[in-house]
Amino acid sequence: MAEAQLAAFLEKVHQLNAFVALSEQRPELRQALRDCAHHHQVVELAHAYGFEIGRRWGDQAPPLAPQQGSNLLGSACPPPGEERVRVLINGPQLRLEQIHSCQAASPEDSWYDQTEHEWVLILQGSARLRFEDEAEDRELNRGDGLPIDAHRRHRVVATDPAPGTIWLALFWPSP
């Protein structure tokens, strides 16, 4: 492990330990932690108390002034609940998109039912997807890829808060 990675790891451990210590001193914070349903709520709660615990191992902070098109991880996070789509390649047999989501989710009663096949890859953050034919959500984290057959109904259950979830999505026609 490089020195910079070790320093980032130790800082996260420090932030976590300080947040835990505060929760042991403040019953209202401990109860708020109990009320959290998932990781993102814990990260938001910690942030509200001045702790930054959300960055995953190996994630770097986004650049301060990204240049448009120069870095797939350098785009500004869209507003909470929204996503931004940028077409990177568009041809007759394939389309490649970068999707940047921030606390985005499909409407409860809405399902994607695409005529194209799709393959997604999480470049930054995480997401939970639900397939209509499966009982449990699928958790995708940085580096996870997933093929989605044409007409396989699915929806986005949740994506990360800022700096958000960045996907690559490759689409191609169904024969």
pLDDT bin (cut points 50, 70, 90) of residue 55 is low
82-173 to CATH, choices 3.40.50.360, 2.60.120.10, 1.10.1060.10, 3.40.630.30: 2.60.120.10
Higher model confidence: residue 46 or residue 147? 147
- Average pLDDT (56-71) is 51
Record the pTM: 0.64
Q: What is the pLDDT of residues 82-138, one digit of tens each?
A: 999 988 888 889 999 999 999 999 998 899 999 999 999 999 999 999 999 999 999
d(CA 160, CA 89): 25
